Amino acid sequence: MAMPMELELKHVELRAGDQFKVQGRNMDAAERFQIDLGCDEDHLALHFNPRFNDDTDGTVLMCNSKIAGCWGDEKREIHNPLHIQGVKMEIVLKLTGDMFEVEMTDGQEIQFPNREGLDVITYIRIKGDLKLTSFKIY
């Protein structure tokens, strides 16, 4: 089995109006992956975490925030279009200021509040059972 991937970007500057696009495929027997946006790993304005074998919900999209190392309330979306093995996926994360919009391959979109009102995202991490083929900030 391939090792989980991890890509960490520091000292980036994403502001309201910016978008971040990730393309890739799930690895074989993928369990989960995550895309984190924030200041560092203890301050995440958005933790986007598709899971494929969640104990409670099976296939689920989970969003959360982490403030000073403490997780907030999870937001769960049962419809997860990203679970299909080996199929090319595209995820676009949009920063609107008070909200994050996550748009997925099949057109599904979920929204998650910018709970801390973070103006600038300086830290991005993509991690897990994902074969990343491209990412782009625009």
Domain count, the chain: 1
CATH code of the domain containing 9: 2.60.120.200
Residue 69 lies in domain = 5-137
At 133, the amino acid letter reads T
The pair of structure tokens assigned to 103 is 């748009």
Beta-bridged to residue 20, according to DSSP, are 93, 137
What element of type H or E holds 36?
strand 33-40
pLDDT tens, residue by residue, 66-121:
999 999 999 999 989 898 877 899 999 999 999 999 999 888 999 999 998 999 99
